[in-house]
């Protein structure tokens, strides 16, 4: 495992302040190259990168604020208990697969579960796809002679992330057991996230880790369209779950793809009041998590690195010029960043040189405010 993959996996254990995990990892990778400190000892490399990023000289600018914020996020990873432990993702997946199956059996799902394969390349004709996992089914077996199963590209395994993907794929496999010749997307993907990633993943891996995973996966600032589509369907599945509980969702899984498509059509045409499903069985941890991800998270609270840096210590009544001088911040970039806190996200009100109001200090944490990777 290389240093960036190591950081990627551990990132699911912390509440990162970055607005986009992918960009964060790209930046970290560039800094490691730039500082020429990559060594065989991963933890030593991460620690040296933090030192390199924290190296202060001259006034704080957007660029150096970004380095400090990235160093803070890396520090959280290093300061974690057992932070030095490199996770064997293959071993982790195999063990979690058994736990997932046990939980599913308790909910009355019993199918002939497919095998997990760890491969260098996916079987043809999927060998050129850039996915991290692929789950050929019965139809692929008939058409292309591929053994049905969960195929994971070895070079794309990431601790935790791969586990949530596996949980998602298992639900597809259960649904496909009744309708293998019909591709399931849309609401089915939302259900796979809800029952797989959230219910199974939450119970086996942990709801906090699941919360971080979904935040990074679906609530990035400037999310790509592909992730947005998954989020849309996750919201749709969540809405059905909050209304009908797992009794309704499990009923749909057991009835298969045609039934799911029918309900999806009713939702999309606005006639969801006509949907009739069994009702009952909510899980409090799931409720908390899905509400947080789909309804509560202020995903647009994102500012530039210097604005995020300054937000950490800015108080009502402060003088803008004083803040800049005391904290050795570049004057023009600093003033602009404070203005940004007002004009872009309206967290402060500036009157002349004085901060007349600051929303940030009324909230227990400024964790909700994330920094953009510029």
Identify which range of 47-55, 188-196, 208-216, 356-364 contacts Zn ion by CB under 5 A: 188-196
Identify which range of 103-111, 121-129, 184-192, 236-244 contacts Zn ion by CB under 5 A: 184-192
Q: How far apart are CA 270 and CA 218, in angstroms?
A: 24
**φ and ψ of 285, to 5 deg:** -65, -40
Is 356 strand, coil or helix?
strand
Closer residue to Zn ion, CB minimum distance, 20 or 189? 189
Closer residue to Zn ion, CB minimum distance, 43 or 111? 111
Report the DSSP pairing between strands 354-358 and 133-134: unpaired
Closest CA to 366 of 23, 17, 80, 20: 17
Closer residue to Zn ion, CB minimum distance, 192 or 200? 192
- Report, in Å, the least distance between residue 181 CB and Zn ion: 17
Note the helical H segments in 12-61: 21-35, 42-54
Closer residue to Zn ion, CB minimum distance, 79 or 225? 225
Task: Give the one residue of 189, 217, 318, 372 binding Zn ion; rule: CB under 5 A.
Answer: 189
Q: How far apart are CA 217 and CA 174, in angstroms?
A: 24
- Report, in Å, the least distance between residue 231 CB and Zn ion: 13
- Report, in Å, the least distance between residue 281 CB and Zn ion: 23
- Report, in Å, the least distance between residue 89 CB and Zn ion: 20
- Report, in Å, the least distance between residue 171 CB and Zn ion: 8
User: Cα dist. 193→210, 214, 266 in Å?
Assistant: 11, 9, 20
Identify which range of 115-123, 187-195, 286-294, 366-374 contacts Zn ion by CB under 5 A: 187-195
User: Cα dist. 176→137, 138, 192 in Å?
Assistant: 8, 9, 12
- Helix or strand (DSSP H, E) at 246: helix 225-255
Number of residues that bind Zn ion (CB under 5 A): 2
Give the contact letters, 314-333, x = binds to Zn ion (CB under 5 A), - = no: --------------------
Identify which range of 11-19, 83-91, 146-154, 186-194 contacts Zn ion by CB under 5 A: 186-194
The angle formed by the CA atoms of residues 310, 313 and 315, to the nearest 5 degrees, is: 105
- Report, in Å, the least distance between residue 135 CB and Zn ion: 8
Question: How far separated are the first and last CA of the chain, in Å rounded?
Answer: 27
- Report, in Å, the least distance between residue 7 CB and Zn ion: 26
Query: What does the radius of gyration of the chain's CA atoms come to, in whole angstroms?
Result: 23
Identify which range of 48-56, 101-109, 181-189, 302-310 contacts Zn ion by CB under 5 A: 181-189
* Token digits of residue 331: 């004057």
Residue numbers at the binding site for Zn ion (CB under 5 A): 189, 192
């Amino acid at each position: 495992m290389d240093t960036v993959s190591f950081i990627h996996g551990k990132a699911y254990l912390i509440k990162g302040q970055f607005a986009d995990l992918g960009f964060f990892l790209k930046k970290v990778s560039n800094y490691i190259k730039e500082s020429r400190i990559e060594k065989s000892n991963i933890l030593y490399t991460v620690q040296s990168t933090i030192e390199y990023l924290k190296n202060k000289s001259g006034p704080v600018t957007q660029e150096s604020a970004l380095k400090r914020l990235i160093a803070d996020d890396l520090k959280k990873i290093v300061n974690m208990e057992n932070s030095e432990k490199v996770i064997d993702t293959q071993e982790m997946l195999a063990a979690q697969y058994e736990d997932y199956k046990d939980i599913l059996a308790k909910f009355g799902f019993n199918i002939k579960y497919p095998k997990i394969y760890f491969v260098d390349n996916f079987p043809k004709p999927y060998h050129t796809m850039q996915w991290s996992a692929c789950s050929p089914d019965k139809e692929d077996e008939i058409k292309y002679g591929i053994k049905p199963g969960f195929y994971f590209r070895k070079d794309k395994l990431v601790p935790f992330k791969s586990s949530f993907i596996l949980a998602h794929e298992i639900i597809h496999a259960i649904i496909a057991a009744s309708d293998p010749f019909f591709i399931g997307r849309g609401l089915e993907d939302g259900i796979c996230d809800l029952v797989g990633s959230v219910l199974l993943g939450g119970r086996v891996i942990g709801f906090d880790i699941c919360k971080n995973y979904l935040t990074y996966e679906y609530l990035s600032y400037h999310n790509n369209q592909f992730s947005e589509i998954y989020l849309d369907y996750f919201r749709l599945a969540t809405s059905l779950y909050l209304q009908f509980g797992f009794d309704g969702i499990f009923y749909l899984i057991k009835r298969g793809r045609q039934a799911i498509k029918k309900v999806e059509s009713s939702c999309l045409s606005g006639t969801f009041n006509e949907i009739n499903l069994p009702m009952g069985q909510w899980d409090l941890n799931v409720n908390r998590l899905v509400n947080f991800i789909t309804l509560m998270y202020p995903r647009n609270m994102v500012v530039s690195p210097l604005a995020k840096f300054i937000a950490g210590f800015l108080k009502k009544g402060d003088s803008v010029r004083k803040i800049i001088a005391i904290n050795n911040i570049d004057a023009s970039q600093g003033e602009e960043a404070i203005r940004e806190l007002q004009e872009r996200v309206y967290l402060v009100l500036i009157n002349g040189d004085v901060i007349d109001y600051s929303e940030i200090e009324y909230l227990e944490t400024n964790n909700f405010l994330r920094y953009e990777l510029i």
